[in-house]
Structures are given as C-alpha cells and as structure tokens.
Amino acid sequence: MDIIETIKEQIANNTILLYMKGSPNAPQCGFSAKAAQAVMGCGEKFAYVDILQNPEIRANLPKYANWPTFPQLWVAGELVGGSDIMAEMFANGELQTLIKEAAAKAEAAKA
C-alpha cells in the first residue's frame, strides 16, 4: 500500500490521532511530551503513531498535511496543529471541547 494511502487510512480510522516521537507514556521529545499531556488531559481514548518507528510516515506526512513539524494532532479527519497550538487550545478549554465532541460523535456513529 502507498504510504499516503496508509496515512489517509490512519486518519480516517482514528477519530483522535496523534503523530508523535515516541509514545504517550514515553515521548522522545519535549514537544511530543507536551502534546501527549494535552491530549491525555482531555480524558478520551486516542490513537498515536510513533514516527520514529515509521520513517516513511515521518518523511511523507508533512507533505500530505502541509504542516512541517511533529507532533501533529488530527481530530475527526482535520489537522488541529502542533504542540504549541494544542497547549494553547488546552489552556483555554477549546481542545477538551473539540476532542469530547469528536469522541461523542464517533460513539454515536457506532451505535
């Protein structure tokens, strides 16, 4: 499968998806740590992709997303942004609302 197709599939199949360096419990950079903390602080389950273990995704996602850096948070198929944007949105409550609404919609769609 083409790597862009893989990326599209990951984004389509995961309501809340964090592309990061490392894992939420063992982040491999400060920005990924900040991002994972913000997303975990929203209290919903989320998927993640460790780009250090997936060099093809690391190389191609910035082109696909038109966003040059990691981490990247995708919610309901839309790119939210990187760690600074996530931290700012978390601080003012926007991230929690966005993630909770997306998770609720996804649950309702399954029912």
Q: Which residues are annotated as a binding site?
A: 21, 29, 58, 70, 83-84
Q: Which residues are annotated as a binding site for [2Fe-2S] cluster?
A: 29
H/E stretch holding 76 reads none
What are the residue ranges of helices labelled H in the chain? Answer: 3-13, 30-40, 55-65, 83-91, 94-110
Q: Which residues are annotated as a binding site for glutathione?
A: 21, 58, 70, 83-84
Chain Cα centroid distance, residue 95: 12
